[in-house]
Amino acid sequence: MPRLCSGEDSHRQADKNVRLRRMLAIFFAKTRMGWTVANCHQQGPWPDRGGACGEASMLKSPGSREVSICGGRPERHRYGLSCRGTTSSNPSPSSGESGYSMAEHPAPVLITGASRGIGEATARLFARKGHRVALLARSAAAIRSLADEIGGLAVPCDVTDEMVVRQAVRKSVAEFGGIGIVINNAGTLEPAARILDTKPSDWTRNIEVNLFGPLYVLRQTVPFLPKGGVVINVSSGAAANPLVGWSAYCASKAGLSMLTRVLAIEESDARGIRVYGFLPGVVDTEMQVFNRANRMNEVGDLKREALRPPTEPAQIMYFLCTLQAADLNGQIVNARDGAVRARAGVPMLG
């Protein structure tokens, strides 16, 4: 039974409100895949987002756990509890960033690898759109400076240590009152070496960062995701294409793509969350500087001018978090796909 607030009348009224909101939430959950989760136990100033007292509890779906995220602080009701994307079924290809508003009440986002490159660009975009963003990476100074700039939360974190990930997630949840969007972006290309020249310890490190890291983040965040929550795992075209010198990277990203697909069948329907794998294309970041320096394969031969800016994958990931992308749930979405680019409003590739 939910904890009630005060007095017999307010008990009865609170019960009525809870039942009513629960029915409405189920209705929206079944029809819109939007944020439909909060059932605070007393009417508050944000009736569609929960109330002003007590705990907010997630609407329980078959096979899912009920998760309390509020902790009784009124301001925590403000985030992630009733966030619905716009429902235009015909987004304009040229609409750009502003063509698909995420929601009236943007959900808090947790992004790993936010210190630079694609993760940084993604954090900037979500912050610009009004989301609170938890920035996770090892480079504490870089994420603190970005957090100061965009109003985010810097949480230094090495994703290869599950206890550290757990603490980082808990800190973000405590600060924001929940998490609605998880972007597993941290990754490494190293080692760049042919299989017979690779030290197993370097290979292991790559798997720890690119595969175990996302696994730990998923284990620690998915239980907090409300209905309508979104997971994006940033994989790579290398997951499906063997490339000389990248055995560890190809193998870890192939593993991540499969991890994504399994998560989708295990948790998407059960929890009412969306799960995407994402291939960002060849993007102008430090990873490609390293790649050009090592030139293990044809990707390292690409001229910098041929690479795409990190703002493009950021924009596509933003699109994936809107309801317009719900039909892509469970898929590995490729940034090079013209239809995806058009829908996300990013320029076509030449």
Ligand X SMILES: NC(=O)c1ccc[n+]([C@@H]2O[C@H](COP(=O)([O-])OP(=O)(O)OC[C@H]3O[C@@H](n4cnc5c(N)ncnc54)[C@H](OP(=O)(O)O)[C@@H]3O)[C@@H](O)[C@H]2O)c1
Q: How are beta strands 274-279 and 230-234 bridged, if at all?
A: parallel
Q: Which is nearer to ligand X, 68 or 160 (CB)?
A: 160
Number of helices (H) and strands (E) in the chain: give both, helices first.
12, 7
- Taking the C-alpha atoms of residue 144 and residue 159, their distance in angstroms, rounded to an integer, is 17
- Does residue 231 sit in helix, strand or coil? strand
Burial of 305 (0-12, 13-18, 19+ CB in 10 A): exposed
Within 156-185, the residues that bind ligand X by CB under 6 A are: 157-160, 185
Among the options 82, 236, 252, 253, which is catalytic? 253
Q: Is 260 in the site for ligand X (CB under 6 A)?
A: no
List all residues 6 or more positions away from 233 whose beta carbon is below 8 Å from its beta carbon.
184, 214, 218, 256, 257, 259, 260, 263, 275, 276, 277, 278
Within 83-102, the residues that bind ligand X by CB under 6 A are: none
Q: Is 280 in the site for ligand X (CB under 6 A)?
A: yes
Q: Is 112 in the site for ligand X (CB under 6 A)?
A: yes
Q: Which is nearer to ligand X, 24 or 142 (CB)?
A: 142
Q: Is 106 in the site for ligand X (CB under 6 A)?
A: no
Which of 50, 85, 117, 277 is close enough to bind ligand X by CB under 6 A? 117
Report in angstroms how near the CB of residue 38 gets to ligand X at its nearest.
31
Compute the C-alpha angle 261/112/202, nearest 5°.
80
- Taking the C-alpha atoms of residue 115 and residue 149, their distance in angstroms, rounded to an integer, is 13
Q: Is 235 a catalytic residue?
A: yes
Which of 288, 315, 324, 334 is close enough to bind ligand X by CB under 6 A? 288
153-156 β-sheet, strand order: 153-156, 133-137, 109-112, 181-184, 230-234, 274-279, 332-334
Among the options 235, 236, 247, 257, which is catalytic? 235
Within 233-252, the residues that bind ligand X by CB under 6 A are: 234, 236
Q: Is 249 a catalytic residue?
A: yes
Report in angstroms how near the CB of residue 170 gets to ligand X at its nearest.
17
- Return the residue matching tokens 């794998």: 277
**Options 42-50, 145-153, 190-198, 279-287: segment touching ligand X (CB under 6 A):** 279-287
Q: Which of 142, 134, 138 is nearest to 188 (CA)?
A: 138
Q: Is 297 in the site for ligand X (CB under 6 A)?
A: no
Which of 66, 148, 197, 286 is close enough to bind ligand X by CB under 6 A? 286
Active site residues: 235, 249, 253
Q: Which residues bind ligand X (CB under 6 A)?
A: 112-119, 137-139, 142, 157-160, 185-188, 209, 234, 236, 280, 282-283, 285-288
